[in-house]
Amino acid sequence: MRVLRPSHAHTAFTATVVLMASTFLSSVFGLVRNMYIAWVFGRGMEADAFLAAFQLPDMISYFLVGGAASITFVTILTRYRDSGREEEGTRSLSVILTTMFLVLGGALVLAEILAPWYVHWWFSGFDEKKAALCVSLTRILLPAQLFFFAGGVFGAVLLVRKRFTIQAITPLIYNLGTIVGGILLVKRLGISSLALGTVAGALLGPFLLNAVFARRAGVRYRPILDWHDEGLHEWVRLSLPLIIGVSLVTADNWIIAHFASNTSGAISLMTYAKRLFTAPMSMLAQAAGAASMPFFASLWAKKQRFEFASAVADSVSRVTCMGLLAASGMIALGKPAIDLLFVGGRFSTADARECAAYFAVFSISLFLWSAQSIYSRAFYAAGNTFAPMVAGTIITLISLPIYAGFFRGYGAMGLAFASDLGIGLQTLTIGFLLHQRKMVSLASLDYREMARCVAAALTGGAITWIVFSWMAGELFPRMNITGHQRLIDLAVLLAGGLLWGGITLWVLTRTGSALPKVMMKRLRLA
């Protein structure tokens, strides 16, 4: 169990496994949190207000610190470490933290004051009561951004040392904070209990845990202001493009919430669907990307360009294949999954049906979200945040009329399709830029393996969906199976998963795919 020790230095593979396992557990905690919200508050006013309240804090984090403290710091600290200047890196860390505490703290105070104006502007479809509740919850959530920023900086120290265990634990504590806050305080404070629990989780997990283990790794924070510090200048250079630009990866949720505020309950249902969708996306893309980032940065810093390009192309090919396969299973079995997880309390079967439709549409783009996560980190590892910023901003601006048009034409469902189109444009653009700059060739992707996975995904997903749609629509009614619906949903999921897995594995094997053997070898099963 050495890989679970906080001091253990990981390889790219063990880091990915640890982070994927953590992301899975965090996703389970996140599902429990969302199930709790759905059961207690359904798709009502409180749920819409709470989920919308995250928007302003997220925007401030994005536009002031680039929303990527860990990513930029990994690049900077890797350079200091590889050149034997770790003490200088630690001093720069103190300078940047002190500077941003002042800047971010001031911005948060201003946001507390301006929150009512923001909510009435961005969520123009909210009535007065819902808007007032959203303002109150927003003000509670705002201070958490300080904890996220500082935790991201301290977490980067551990990532550079290839210590990923703490990064695996912090999101678990964060999600647990929201759950515990609700359980302990909901009867007294209502949905405000969830906001307070969220802030407590951010303090104890992302901030405190990273800070403690960064200190054990030898980092000593001292409040220092030095406008001439080299590390501060480098951080500003890397972060500024992220700050002044807008990536659709982040803006997608903002745009959806803006338009969905005009449809009662749509914010809640689309958020439940999106968060369920992001569970496998996080396991595939974010875990692999976070684990690969230090290795990409190290290869680039050592001028090992061929190895860098090969590593990125292999990662993109792998997560794309896994994304294609996973999406087919998610689409085929999304309805029983949402019935099992969410139906109950104030969340009805009609709500589940609508939520499942959003989930299926979001799932189509799983492979695109996975691929763009790796592509973006390739740019960050090379110290180039300007190119993806410009590309992301242009794609976001181009996508705005797409969201608006699809919403006017197809309502909230149109927003889900617009999200897929937008992330498709984002992924293709970032990949083309890497190819054009001769950093990662598009020709180096494993298209044959992707084609095999497409065939397996279509076959497995289609057969599974047909079989279980027939069972739900024809077989179960004839058998008069009406009680114990959760057990039925669970049985459908388990049987469906086995059927889907068996079919996709058979197709992959018959088409000569190397993926099954690679996964067996990686998992030490062959």
Q: What is the pLDDT of residue 3?
A: 42
Q: Would you state the structure tokens that stand for residue 12, as one six-digit string?
A: 């790219």
Residue 4 confidence class, pLDDT cut points 50, 70, 90: very low
In the 8-state DSSP scheme, what is residue 208? I
Amino acid 291: pLDDT: 58
**pLDDT tens-digit profile of 69-119?**
556 777 777 777 777 777 777 788 888 888 888 988 999 999 999 999 999
What are phi and psi for residue 290, nearest 5 degrees?
-65, -40
CA dist 387 and 378 (Å) reads 11
Token look-up 């001439």 returns 228
What's residue 14's pLDDT? 57
Long-range CB contacts (< 8 A, 24+ apart) of 337-340?
Answer: 337/276, 337/489, 337/493, 338/272, 338/273, 338/276, 339/485, 339/489, 340/486, 340/489, 340/490, 340/493
CA distance 128 to 189: 20
Using 50, 70 and 90 to split pLDDT, how confident is the model at 469? confident
Q: What are residue 388's DSSP bridge partners?
A: none
Element (H, E) at 115: helix 86-122
Average pLDDT over residues 494-521: 88
> Is it the case that residue 396 has pLDDT exceeding 90?
yes
Bin 66: left if φ > 0, else alpha if -120 < ψ < 50, else beta: left
**Matching residue, tokens 């004839």:** 478
State the Cα–Cα distance between residues 398 and 201, nearest whole angstrom: 37
Rounded CA separation 58/489 (Å): 35
User: At 427, is the secondary structure helix, strand, or coil?
Assistant: helix
Phi, psi dihedrals of residue 13, rounded to the nearest 5°: -70, -50
Average pLDDT value over all residues in the chain = 84
Give the span between the Cα atoms of 141 and 223, in whole angstroms: 25
d(CA 365, CA 356): 15
Are the C-beta atoms of residues 313 and 440 closer than 8 Å to each other?
yes
Q: Using 50, 70 and 90 to split pLDDT, how confident is the model at 473?
A: low
CA distance 185 to 191: 9
Burial status of residue 102 (CB atoms within 10 A of its CB: 0-12, 13-18, 19 or more): exposed
Predicted pLDDT at 329: 94
Q: Band the pLDDT of 22: cuts 50, 70, 90.
A: low
Within a 10 A sphere around the Cβ of 443, how many other Cβ atoms? 8
CB-based contact 220:237 (threshold 8 Å): no
